[in-house]
């Protein structure tokens, strides 16, 4: 479970352009969110892929500057807005994950990462990162669902996050105006 295989072509790409390291960062992030802490079932798949996508952007921002992080967030937001406009946006938790479409994958990867970014803004830097550490440490070696994540983040926030989770994770889909980045 502690192994990721990447294509030879991707390796050549990274050797030619070391800034093309996003896939490596994504797969390394899965060592924590996907392997150490994994979802109980495919319905909570965003806990693996949304986290790995978000952490990739955090890493790229740390390594290459904050503008790299902001660029990734803007891409997630644009993809989510496209889903919303097409009527294919839906809550992050799936009742069934069978034969997923490209839009379904965009929900768990891009929307999942975008929701983590928005939660970071909602909670503030210190509380957000304490919550992520607490969630990860408390659940290492366990299978989790979205309620485990909500409980950990709410406990760390020290305030009710029900409205945030209802808006961004559970639905409704009409999310109204967005906060600026």
Report the CATH number at residue 104.
Answer: 1.10.390.10
Residue 56 belongs to some domain of the structure: yes
The answer as to whether 3 is a domain residue is no
Q: Which residue has the tokens 């009742």?
A: 95
pLDDT tens per residue, range 124-160: 999 999 999 999 999 999 999 999 999 999 999 999 9
Q: How many CA atoms within 13 Å lie on the side-chain side of 1?
A: 10
Task: State whether residue 32 is helix, strand or coil.
Answer: coil
Q: pTM of this prediction?
A: 0.88
Residue 162 lies in a domain: yes
Interatomic CA distance for residues 168 and 74, integer angstroms: 17
Q: Tens digits of per-residue pLDDT, 60-97?
A: 999 999 999 999 999 999 999 999 999 999 899 988 77
Structural domain of 81:
22-170
Domain count, the chain: 1
Annotate 39-73 with DSSP letters as a single string: ESSGGGTHHHHHHHHHHHHHHHHHHH-HHHHHHHH
Residue 4 has pLDDT above 90, yes or no: no
- Cα(115)–Cα(28) distance, integer angstroms: 21
155 is a domain residue: yes
Q: How far apart are CA 38 and CA 139, in angstroms?
A: 9
Q: Is the pLDDT of residue 18 over 90?
A: no
Q: For residue 17, is it within any domain?
A: no
Residue 181 located in a structural domain: no
Task: Provide the pLDDT for residue 176.
Answer: 46
What pLDDT, on the 0 to 100 scale, is given for residue 179? 43
What would the mean pLDDT of 98-109 be, rounded to a whole number? 87
In a domain, 11, yes or no: no
Q: What is the pLDDT of residues 37-50, one digit of tens each?
A: 999 998 999 999 99
- The answer as to whether 89 is a domain residue is yes
């Amino acid at each position: 479970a502690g192994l990721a295989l990447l294509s030879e072509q991707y390796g050549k790409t990274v050797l030619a352009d070391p800034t093309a390291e996003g896939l490596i960062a994504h797969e390394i992030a899965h060592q924590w969110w996907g392997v150490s802490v994994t979802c109980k079932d495919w319905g909570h798949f965003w806990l693996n892929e949304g986290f790995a996508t978000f952490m990739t952007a955090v890493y790229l921002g740390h390594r290459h500057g904050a503008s790299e992080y902001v660029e990734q967030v803007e891409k997630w937001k644009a993809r989510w807005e496209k889903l919303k406009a097409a009527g294919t946006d839906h809550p992050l938790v799936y009742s069934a994950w069978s034969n997923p479409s490209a839009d379904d994958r965009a929900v768990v990867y891009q929307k999942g990462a975008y929701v983590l970014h928005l939660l970071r803004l909602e909670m503030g830097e210190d509380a957000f990162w304490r919550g992520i550490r607490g969630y990860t440490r408390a659940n290492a070696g366990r299978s989790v669902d979205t309620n485990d994540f909500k409980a950990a983040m709410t406990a760390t926030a020290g305030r009710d996050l029900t409205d945030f989770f209802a808006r961004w994770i559970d639905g409704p889909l009409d999310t109204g105006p967005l906060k600026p980045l």
